[in-house]
Amino acid sequence: MTDQNYETSDVLVVGSGIAGLAAALGAVRELEQGESSERASGGTASSEGSDVTVATKATRPEGASSWWAQGGIAVSRDHPEQFKQDIIAASDETADPDAVDVLVENANDAVEDVLLETLEVEFDENGDDLDFTREAAHSEDRILHVDAATGKHIHVPFLNYLDAHDGVEILDDTAALELIRHEGRVHGAMLESDGEVTPHYAGSVVLATGGIGELYPRTTNPDMATGDGIAMAALAGADVEDMEYVQFHPTVAIPGEDSDDDDVFLVSEAVRGEGALLRNGDGERFMKEYHADAELAPRDVVARAVKAEREGTGEVLLDVSPLSFAAEFPGLARRCTDHGIDYEDGIPVAPAEHFLCGGVAVDDRGRTTLDRLYAVGECSRTGVHGANRLASTSLLEGLVWGLRAGEDAAGKGVEPIEAPDLLERDPDLPARFAGDKMHRLRRVMDEQLGVERDPDELGKAMATVRRLKGEVDAYVRTRTSRSLYELRHASVTALLVARHASENTESVGTHNLVEKAPAEPSAD
């Protein structure tokens, strides 16, 4: 055992979105129940270390993807079988039916228990009843929402509830750099805060690090979504699946051609659910030509259609005139105004990276293929989404799997081992090193692993990312910094996306293969 200073917890959760917070809640509830049983039998519960620690890179709620979720959270209501069919249909028939059963069968109870009873989230109402809305590929109204800002109305009270809980410690502005593991078991993680790196040992580690939006130039994710959990798990030897299935949201507002990619913002699918229409640069409504469900077709279909129409006619506008936009979506209306968009003339939209459907492979309790390592939320691959995610199921998946993983992870027992030696023996990185490498990575992902993919280009993309990863690895061997490890995680994750995409020769869901037309022969 190392003589370094270290910290311990029964359960260490890495990430503070709804999945991580649900895991923390599930774990602390399980521990409290165990302590209650121990006391009842005359024993004494252990008080060493924290019960549950949540380590998060975020320094404010906006740092978690859940905070940005607009549409809402879907529930089964009285028709679980129809909900299941909608999820599988949206996935292009690739979702795992057993995983979908877990989600659907636990949906109502999880929402009732955590969001309504424990957190008392005030969802929008229609008279005296909860107001349910519909989004793309849903066959009925089943989505609970708060305006078009559901995520923050769930996330903030959830954070506050756990922050006030004696059994939970939340470490913000804290990044996990590497898992501590030995012979197939994970014992903790190396955590960095304010430049200091400390081993944190835990009976179980739950990864809830969110998505991979930072790998693309245009995304709906917060700016810290660098695929950390996926990369750490993969480097530790955990199985990773379905990484080629990267979902692009079709309606992301583009304030102007000269605007920075950071200025884009999501326009919820709920707006189309309430009647908004997509029109191309010629003013024509076009979605009926692409799918029978028109604007409410699955996301992958709408994203490809919007891309095609933008390329063919110059722009795509979301026409909100069929609804009372400012009254029904006041937050989005204000955001349009703040960005100089006159929504009455239509909102200019384009696809942007939104959600990774694959990730660290887990079972129905969030267990990975490594002992004592769990993954929940967007960094995990439960099988629910298959090749394409149904709208408003991500918050639900995070809640359901988070609770189940947290309960299973609790009470395993902490066993500190020798921690990895993260070196700091070379000078600091060149000032623009991380930024330049990330820019290069984003260009490859955007051009070769975007909405459409040329099979002939995927091998080239993988080779480019592999070289970039090698360059980053050379620095990681002698330097330790958060930005460098984020870059390593991003390059590892990008390589996984490229590798899985190159291995999958079937065009399905979000993995859309389109061969470029051969060049015209020269007249000479």
Contact yes or no for 139/391 (Cβ under 8 A): no
Q: List the structure tokens of 282.
A: 């010629």
Q: What gap in Å lies between CA 29 and CA 409, rounded to an integer? A: 11
Q: What gap in Å lies between CA 183 and CA 33, rounded to an integer? A: 31
Contact yes or no for 303/249 (Cβ under 8 A): yes
Q: What gap in Å lies between CA 487 and CA 489, rounded to an integer? A: 5
Q: How many CB atoms lie within 10 A of CB 418?
A: 12
Phi-psi map region of 52: left, alpha, beta (phi>0 left; psi -120 to 50 alpha)? beta
Q: Which of 220, 66, 264 is nearest to 152 (CA)?
A: 66
Burial group, residue 237, by CB count within 10 angstroms (0-12, 13-18, 19+): middle
- Say which of 29, 181, 272, 299 is annotated catalytic: 299
Coarse DSSP helix, strand, coil percentages of the chain, rounded to the nearest 5 percent: 40, 20, 40
- 3-class secondary structure per residue, 207-247: ECCCCCHHHCCCECCCCCCCCHHHHHHHHHCCCEECCCCEE
CA atoms within 13 A on the CB side of 226: 24
DSSP 289: G
Contact yes or no for 242/357 (Cβ under 8 A): yes
Check if 299 is active-site: yes
To which H or E segment does residue 351 belong? strand 347-356
Question: What is the greatest pairwise CA distance in the chain?
Answer: 94
Q: What gap in Å lies between CA 502 and CA 172, rounded to an integer? A: 37
Q: Which residues are catalytic?
A: 299
